[in-house]
Amino acid sequence: NPLPPFPAGFLWGVSTSAHQIEGAVETRGRSVWDAFTDRPGRIRDGSTAAVACDHVRRYREDVALLAGLGVDAYRFSVSWPRADSPGGLGFYDRLVDELCAAGVRPVPTLFHWDLPVELDWRERDTASRFAAHAERVAARLGDRVPTWITLNEPAEHTLLGHALGVHAPGERLLFDALPVAHHQLLAHGLAVRALRAAGATEIGIANSHGPVRPASDALADREAADFYDVLLNRTFADPPLLGRYPEGIGELMPGNVAADLDVIAEPLDFYGVNFYAPARVGAPSDAPGDFGGVPLPAGLPFSVRETEGRPVTDSGWPVDPEALTELLTGFRARYGDRLPPIVITENGCAYDGLDDQDRITYLDGHLRALHEALTAGVDVRGYFVWSLLDNFEWAEGYAHRFGLVHVDFTTQRRTPKASYAWFREMLAAQR
Ligand code: FCB
């Protein structure tokens, strides 16, 4: 049953990030992720990203895989410590040239969690350092790159890295991590200005979002779900889109928040949404539940419940495509004319095996759900699969495979999976 046709000019792509695929750590400075990985017990399979997909050496082969897939665009990230190292920008220069020669539009993300180890998002100054990073990278690549993404998922970076400590830099600050969110959002706004000044014409952010469903109609459950929605969705979407924090959050942020919000609300050309799964949330209980598989501590004002009656992926995340339609129509209702065109900057799933029919089912379902949102009037302009390659899935190591292309991490051999062929055929049918 073929997918319904998407609008002409819809941007089809795949995503990766630097730390998860590049390897070649010896040719760049260290990031907080290198330091975190060195701490015993932090990565489930004891692995490191020192080699990962060896992409720095094999990028030509990887661009050939993109060309073979027939995508319009490739979202990758620029490693900040690599950009700061001698010859580091030269790598992205060659990558961009190779992409342009293959007819694939480069879409760089300027920060995907691999902060230089000497920096700290608790410091306000990191925001201006990030703007300088954006300026430097844009000065080097801007002649060929019109489309930019500032940050990847500041919510996850704040929550997992600084509140719960299961990602780098491994801090367990709980609600005291909120300034980390503010400084990233400020960094985003300053970078938008720097990119604009460098001539960029399409600028966005990649935020993770999912609808939050109350565990029941009871008031306590609805209030808990609303608080969770504020924390994970609205704290990161309201400032760039509406120029304000949700009620109760701004007071917890450091600095001159009102002045900072002017910067954070710089107009965007598109709004990137990373979508994986919805959440079901209720009043606090003895079992606080988990966040995408990460156990939550006791004492939070909510508890995360299981989404029942749904298959789960290898990472335990429920497969619920209608949640994507719900998310996008909800966004349109909430943000109205303040919402720029949406691009799905990540969507995908972890499944093992080369004959990955489950991934095909997942992607097919989510594309139909996305089409429903288009039909309902949501302006969505593009869709990027996470990910091109199996890669270093953060604290999970190499166990969770998200690629359309299988990577044998001993030989570095790439083998396109069934989902790669499926996506290629789907794209050909859309043309
Ligand atoms: C997202 C991250 C991405 C990848 C996917 C599975 O939260 O942005 O790097 O790990 O999840």
* pLDDT for the residue 194: 98
* pLDDT for the residue 74: 99
* pLDDT for the residue 102: 98
* pLDDT for the residue 64: 99
ipTM above 0.90, yes or no: yes
* pLDDT for the residue 44: 96
Cα 133 to averaged position of ligand 1 atoms, centre (Å)? 22
* pLDDT for the residue 96: 99
Q: Is 114 in the pocket of ligand 1 (CB under 6 A)?
A: no
- HEC letters along the chain: CCCCCCCCCCEEEEECCHHHHCCCHHHCCCEHHHHHHHCCCCCCCCCCCCCCCCHHHHHHHHHHHHHHHCCCEEEEECCHHHHCCCCHHHHHHHHHHHHHHCCCEEEEEEECCCCECCCCCCCCHHHHHHHHHHHHHHHHHCCCCCEEEEEECHHHHHHHHHHCCCCCCCCCCHHHHHHHHHHHHHHHHHHHHHHHHCCCCEEEEEEECCCEEECCCCHHHHHHHHHHHHHHHHHHHHHHHHCCCCCCCHHHCCCCHHHHHHHHCCCCCCEEEECCCCEEEECCCCCCCEECCEECCCCCCCEEECCCCCCECCCCCECCCHHHHHHHHHHHHHHHHHCCCEEEEECCCCCCCCCCHHHHHHHHHHHHHHHHHHHCCCCEEEEEEECCECCCCHHHCCCCCCCCEEECCCCCCEEECHHHHHHHHHHHHHC
Instruction: Decide if 346 is catalytic.
Output: yes
* pLDDT for the residue 41: 97
* pLDDT for the residue 85: 98
Query: Residue-wise pLDDT tens for the chain (431 aa)?
Result: 899 999 999 999 999 999 999 999 999 999 999 999 999 999 999 999 999 999 999 999 999 999 999 999 999 999 999 999 999 999 999 999 999 999 999 999 999 999 999 999 999 999 999 999 999 999 999 999 999 999 999 999 999 999 999 999 999 999 999 999 999 999 999 999 999 999 999 999 999 999 999 999 999 999 999 999 999 999 999 999 999 999 999 999 999 999 999 999 999 999 999 999 999 999 999 999 999 999 999 999 999 999 999 999 999 999 999 999 999 999 999 999 999 999 999 999 999 999 999 999 999 999 999 999 999 999 999 999 999 999 999 999 999 999 999 999 999 999 999 999 999 999 999 99
Which atom of ligand 1 lies at the shortest distance from residue 153's CA? 8
Query: Which one of 20, 110, 153 would you pick to mutate in the ligand 1 pocket, going by the greatest count of ligand atoms within 8 A of its CB?
Result: 153
Cα 37 to averaged position of ligand 1 atoms, centre (Å)? 17
Catalytic position from the list 98, 171, 346, 393: 346
What pTM does this model have? 0.98
